[in-house]
Structure 1
């Protein structure tokens, strides 16, 4: 988890859905419709529905907790990294690869 927080602490890192990090509730509200009038002359939403769950509520709860956006962004990255690591371990076990277990 420390790896996620080590990159540019205190700064939001540009992502494909930066508006989700900066204004999660506004993004989620716009994601519920096909047309978004707030961009340039308006735009058709691109993949916004894919961020409705679980990423959208995660960022929304971070906003409600008044955490800085960069902390919520890094916490999300940490969750993704931990879940991916656990998934690789489970896959290795299912394939019969030797897995070192702690404890």
Structure 2
């Protein structure tokens, strides 16, 4: 069989089947881009400059202090001492995420909104994965992930 016969039968033989040249690759990227835009833009534009109430205000105010104290179950600095069970839940992934953005100079409000957008985006990616596993493809999968 000649190279021409192979390439006429199998588009991957000459590189035509790469992810960039497949017709669905652009629409898949477009779906991811739309999902990212609709995950981040609304939360970044909502109530700019204001920090939303959180159970751990130190995430926005002093993330380094929260990370430093979260390793110990006992905190003698509050009243007569307390068991800080909630701090452990903030060690990962929220603590490092807030710490890195704080080190980069992002405000607490922006950091909160990027965190929330990341959670929304990850949930949408999970839905896209589920739809593709169930062989639901195309714009319907993106609309379902946005819902």
Task: Please classify the TM superposition score into its range, dividing by the shorter chain length.
Answer: 0.7 to 0.9
Conserved 8 A contact 1:31-1:49 = yes
TM-score (norm 1): 0.86
CA RMSD, aligned part only? Answer: 1.8
Aligned to 1:13: 52
**Worse overlay, 41-50 or 67-76:** 41-50
Q: Which of 37, 40, 49 lines up with 2:79 in the alignment?
A: 40
Which runs of no fewer than 5 residues in structure 2 stay unpaired?
1-39, 143-147
Q: Which of 120, 128, 141 lines up with 1:89 in the alignment?
A: 128
1:81 CA drift (Å): 1.1
Which runs of no fewer than 5 residues in structure 1 stay unpaired?
none
Q: Higher helix fraction: Structure 1 or Structure 2?
A: 2
TM-score (norm 2): 0.62
Deviating 4+ runs (over 6 angstroms):
none
1:13 CA drift (Å): 0.3
